[in-house]
Structure 1
Amino acid sequence: MDEAPAEVTDLFFNRGWLIPMLVVLGLTLLVHFIISRFYKRVYPRVEKTHLVWDSAILKALILPLKVFVWILGLTFSVQLLAYHFEQESLNELFAPFRNFSLVAVILWFTLRFIKNMEIEHSRERRKAKKRYDKTTVRAICQISRIAAVLIATLVYLQTRNVNLSAVLAFGGAGGLVVGLAAKDLLGNFFGGLMIYLDRPFSVGDWICSPDREIEGTVENIGWRLTRIRTFDKRPIYVPNGLFSTISVVNPSRMSNRRIKTRIGVRYSDADKMEPITRDIEQMLLDNPDIDTNKFLMVRFDDFGPSSLNFVIYCFTKTTNWGEYMRQQQEVFLKAIEIIEKHGAECAFPTTTLHIPDGLEVKSHE
């Protein structure tokens, strides 16, 4: 009965692999604890600074660093076992695995850092109540992610002694074949890139196209599709390549809204046309909602079939559609008030019948 415990003791304590492995795992746990304590102490101080990148780096680094520490600890522990049991074939796997882990962890940290920078930048701008272009920020972050993945892939291939020149040459030939097979997909991709670079519109803008039945608010600009929400709340998914072939109007970036209308008065009020147009123009000049720095006029411009017509042309200071409609209504009502003040009336379609002399009109009873 005493021989079995003696064999167990000889297995775990009389051989030289257990203690080094426990030391490595203990050191790994200690480093993990130090990193956690450091983060808990430093992060509150970093949050109080006005810098964006420091808190983004710290939050991005903490989890990948812990994972990499445990990867090192576990791989070295298993490697000690392999050395002890003379499994040399296993030792050849650890160096490539650690290289791959290092590249993967750095890529993971980079992607987390890019995401944190995007979030922190947006939050700081909102906090400071500063306007920023969401589309540009999103585009820069997406391009940065793609670049990070490509660089990490090339670095890992370099650690595996892969000939990068051959890879790049093969990638060029393969890219040509893929480009021919998926030209529409690539057209949409580069169309999205041009939207990010030229910025004809951004997320949240109201756009429309006179060439197509497209009108609504931009909700999302992807690499292949742009999602537009129409005013009746239906989504439209537009391939980005289409924007390179159609005209796009962006009313969200208008500087003013225009009031343009034509009003007719009776021919019998022709002598009152000049004071009416003069007073309406003065009313517009005195209106604080009208931008008098822009072109403004009230002019008699047309002899209509049953009215003398004059045009009102001016611009409001606001670009908000609801406020614009209120101001336009106010201008129209004041114009009617001025017409009536001068004893004139707005004309409506009428027909005058002239009966020649000697012609009698008899009624039939």
Structure 2
Amino acid sequence: MTELFTQGIWGRTPEQIGQALAVIVGMVLLQFLLHSVIFRRLKKLAESTTTFVDNILVESARYPLRLSLFCLTLLLVSDILGFSPVFARWISRLAESGFIIAGTWFLSGASQLLTLSFAAWMEKRNTPLDLQVQPLFTRVLRVAVWIMGGLMLIQHLGYSITGIIASLGIGGAALAFASQDTIANVFGSAKILLDRPFLIGDWIKSTDGSIEGVVEDIGFLSTRIRTFADTLITVPNNKIANLALENFSRMTKRRIFTHIGLSYGTQIEQIQTVVPQMRQYISEHPEIEPSTLFVHFTSFSESSLDIMVYFFTRTTVWADWLRIREEIYLKFMLILQEAGIQIAVPARQLRLEHLPQGAFHDLMTFPGLISAPEDLEPLVNGPDLDSSAFSPGA
């Protein structure tokens, strides 16, 4: 034990080891104070101000500062312990690389300041920056910052940037072929930004029905859409930029379109009564857009006399639209009931010709074909229709 205190460890004196341990313990305590005390108070102080600058700076500096303190600890400990020149040079290079990464990290986080400042400047010029453009603009800045930081790090480690770029020419063709989808998606995102077929928060649907939901994010390579089943769809920008899309969020009004089928027993006078009543009710409804409104008797269908109803609600909110539609449909039912009109039920008329003797009886009694043969008995033996009508040659 005496030799340990007199000769030290690995040729280092007790004073050197003690100083190195003191630096390490001090840096650990400083890291704890920064994370648990100082940054928490700075964050609360930043949140109490009206500007966004201090909030971004505090969040951007938290982890880069901790990394910088770690690198500083390495340099101090290396200097105190007096490592060999080769090992000390590697420690120094490692710490300096950490400083470059920390600086790049901080600038990457603080790049949002430039985006928000640019957005504020655009707003003052009455040309506000779209919400979908702001995150993309920030990402472009961050990618640029990290590329610059990466180049600085490569240069600092002693590698030639020119040589690396020149060596890429060997596999350039293979790289271009492998990245053609990526490049197509980047151009797709540019097309989305320029054409603006949708924004973040819009409800969209592809005409082929493969995609429907609310746009959550528009990235460099893909767009994320939240479906109404609460699942998340990630669509490559190249694909979604070439799809025909319906944007429901850009509706200024919402359509209600239906046909009401009346039974063929309905009289002309009844139709002439209920159609104007329906039209008047819709036109006087406070939540209906009166400029485009059609209620007309339009067609003779196979089993019904059809009234077409076509109009728009002022609201585009789905829940309100459902409520209004239900209210109007119930009113239509009441109008038809008061007029004594029945809603048509789909029906088919069967005409039997040249049946062999006894074939009708076999048809009625065939298992599973006629659920209640006795219901057809009046058709055969009723006062207006003789059973001979179903005999051969009828």
TM-score of the superposition, structure 1-length normalised?
A: 0.69
Displacement of 1:194 in angstroms is 4.2
3-state SS, counterpart of residue 197 of structure 2: coil
Report whether the alignment pairs 1:47 with 2:64. Answer: no
Aligned counterparts of 1:361 and 1:34: Cα–Cα separation in 2 = 102
3-state SS, counterpart of residue 320 of structure 2: helix
Query: Structure 1, residues 66-90: CA drift from partner, whole Å, max 9, x if none?
Result: 43134224314413543xx7x4434
Displacement of 1:307 in angstroms is 5.4
Superposed counterparts of 1:17-166, under 5 Å:
39=39, 42-82=42-82, 87-93=84-90, 95-113=92-110, 136=133, 138-159=135-156, 164=161
Displacement of 1:281 in angstroms is 1.9
* Equivalent in the alignment of 1:278: 276
3-state SS, counterpart of residue 319 of structure 1: coil
* Equivalent in the alignment of 1:302: 299
Contact 2:71 2:96 in 1 (8 A): no
AA in 1 matched with 2:49: T
Displacement of 1:314 in angstroms is 0.7
Aligned counterparts of 1:361 and 1:3: Cα–Cα separation in 2 = 129
Structure 1 residues 54, 363: closer, same or farther in 2, change over 3 A? same
Contact 1:270 1:308 in 2 (8 A): no
3-state SS, counterpart of residue 261 of structure 1: strand
Structure 1 residues 143, 172: closer, same or farther in 2, change over 3 A? farther
AA in 1 matched with 2:324: Q
Structure 1 residues 326, 154: closer, same or farther in 2, change over 3 A? same
Match of 1:261 among 258, 263, 268: 258
Contact 1:218 1:226 in 2 (8 A): yes
3-state SS, counterpart of residue 289 of structure 2: coil
3-state SS, counterpart of residue 288 of structure 1: coil
Aligned counterparts of 2:192 and 2:105: Cα–Cα separation in 1 = 28
Higher RCO, Cα 8 Å, sep 6+? 1
3-state SS, counterpart of residue 200 of structure 1: coil
Aligned counterparts of 2:331 and 2:40: Cα–Cα separation in 1 = 67
* Equivalent in the alignment of 2:386: 363
Contact 2:74 2:91 in 1 (8 A): no
Superposed counterparts of 1:326-345, under 5 Å:
326-342=323-339
3-state SS, counterpart of residue 246 of structure 2: coil
Stretch deviating more after TM superposition (196-205 or 252-261): 196-205
Q: Which runs of 5+ in 1 are unaligned?
A: 119-131, 353-359
Structure 1 residues 203, 44: closer, same or farther in 2, change over 3 A? closer
Structure 1 residues 207, 173: closer, same or farther in 2, change over 3 A? farther
Aligned counterparts of 1:74 and 1:351: Cα–Cα separation in 2 = 91
* Equivalent in the alignment of 2:244: 247
Displacement of 1:150 in angstroms is 0.9
Report whether the alignment pairs 1:324 with 2:321. Answer: yes
Displacement of 1:105 in angstroms is 0.7
* Equivalent in the alignment of 1:124: none
Structure 1 residues 23, 337: closer, same or farther in 2, change over 3 A? closer
* Equivalent in the alignment of 1:355: none
AA in 1 matched with 2:386: S
Contact 1:191 1:240 in 2 (8 A): yes
3-state SS, counterpart of residue 249 of structure 1: strand
Q: Which runs of 5+ in 2 are unaligned?
A: 116-128, 350-382, 389-394
Displacement of 1:100 in angstroms is 1.3
AA in 2 matched with 1:278: P
Q: Matched residues, percent identical?
A: 28
AA in 2 matched with 1:154: L
Structure 1 residues 194, 174: closer, same or farther in 2, change over 3 A? farther
Aligned counterparts of 1:239 and 1:2: Cα–Cα separation in 2 = 70
Report whether the alignment pairs 1:187 with 2:176. Answer: no
Aligned counterparts of 1:5 and 1:164: Cα–Cα separation in 2 = 49
Displacement of 1:102 in angstroms is 1.6
Contact 1:68 1:105 in 2 (8 A): yes
Structure 1 residues 279, 103: closer, same or farther in 2, change over 3 A? same
Superposed counterparts of 1:230-241, under 5 Å:
238-241=235-238
* Equivalent in the alignment of 2:289: 291
Aligned counterparts of 2:248 and 2:138: Cα–Cα separation in 1 = 27
AA in 2 matched with 1:191: G
Structure 1 residues 296, 88: closer, same or farther in 2, change over 3 A? same
Displacement of 1:7 in angstroms is 6.0
* Equivalent in the alignment of 1:121: none
Indicate the RMSD between aligned Cα atoms, in angstroms: 4.7
* Equivalent in the alignment of 1:211: 208
Displacement of 1:201 in angstroms is 4.0
AA in 2 matched with 1:44: K
AA in 2 matched with 1:46: A
Aligned counterparts of 1:173 and 1:290: Cα–Cα separation in 2 = 67
Contact 2:109 2:142 in 1 (8 A): no
